[in-house]
């Protein structure tokens, strides 16, 4: 999970942990310095959103925002499966994010 969080942080994705291996995430395309509502967790230095700031932020155009959930599973062969599900936002922008995420994880 640490590698996943590092890759998300490099892509300026914000997240809110909703379970041990489940997170709600928000990515704002084209705004690398967008840090509204972010809490800097000094223990792990991750992008973590507190309260409901992941849900609504009127300052950002909805056409540039992709909201998605991430779920991590462990398979029988001691390998991991990562599920990304788009919740809201443009489909092609989400696919761009997925491609960048896979490249960040060095899977592609």
Question: What tens digit of pLDDT does each residue of 37-51 get?
Answer: 343 343 344 455 554
Residue of 3, 1, 17, 14 lying closest to 72 (CA atoms):
1
Tokens of 91: 């489909």
Q: Which residue has the higher pLDDT, 40 or 57?
A: 57
Q: Count of residues for the chain?
A: 108
Looking at residue 1, its pLDDT comes to: 81
3-state secondary structure string across 50-66: CCCCCCCCCCCCHHHEE
- The pTM (predicted TM-score) of the whole model is 0.71
Region 20-36 average pLDDT: 77
b/e string for 28-67 if b means 16 or more Cβ within 10 A?
bbeeeebeebbeeeeeeebbbbeeeebeebeeeeeeebbb
Question: What tens digit of pLDDT does each residue of 65-78 get?
Answer: 999 999 999 988 88
Share of the chain above pLDDT 90, in %: 54
């Amino acid at each position: 999970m640490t590698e996943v969080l590092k890759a998300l942080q490099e892509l300026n994705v914000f997240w809110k942990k909703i379970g041990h291996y489940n997170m709600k995430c928000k990515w704002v395309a084209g705004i690398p310095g967008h840090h509204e509502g972010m809490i800097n967790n000094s223990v792990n230095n991750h992008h973590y959103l507190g309260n409901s700031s992941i849900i609504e932020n009127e300052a950002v155009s909805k056409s540039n925002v992709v909201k998605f959930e991430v779920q991590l599973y462990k398979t029988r062969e001691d390998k991991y499966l990562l599920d990304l599900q788009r919740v809201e936002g443009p489909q092609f922008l989400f696919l761009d994010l997925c491609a960048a995420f896979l490249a960040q994880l060095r899977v592609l």
